[in-house]
Amino acid sequence: MALKDKKQERIDARLTAEAKLQIDQAAAMQGRSTSDFMVQAALKEASLVIEQQRVIKLTMEESLALAELMSAEPQINQSSINAMRRHKKIVGY
């Protein structure tokens, strides 16, 4: 977010007094406002969650099957022949 962007959105959260004290202390130790500290911590966690969800997780069997498919010679079928003909017609070779 650019510095000139006006902050217009708001998130409210309920937490225990102990949790608020801990967050306030951590923010103060970094010389930041509690709000800034919380936003940055939430953004960091959000980035991790998003990245984890984008990673494809495979079992060992699935990994081996994928590796086998990727290393196997492609099988020629009518669809691939038609695609090669269209490519040759468009590209010229």
pLDDT tens, residue by residue, 42-67: 999 999 999 988 888 889 999 999 99
Provide the 10 A C-beta neighbour count for residue 37: 19
How many independent structural domains does the chain possess?
Answer: 1
| Structural domain contains residue 30 | yes
Asked if the model's pLDDT at residue 6 lies above 90, the reply is no
Whether 84 is covered by a domain: the verdict is no
Handedness of CA 9, 15, 21, 26 (dihedral sign): negative
**Cβ partners under 8 Å of residue 22, min gap 6:** none
What predicted TM-score, i.e. pTM, was given to this entire model? 0.56
Q: What domain range includes position 63?
A: 17-70
The residue with tokens 């406002």 is 33
| pLDDT tens by residue, 75-90 | 899 999 999 999 999 9
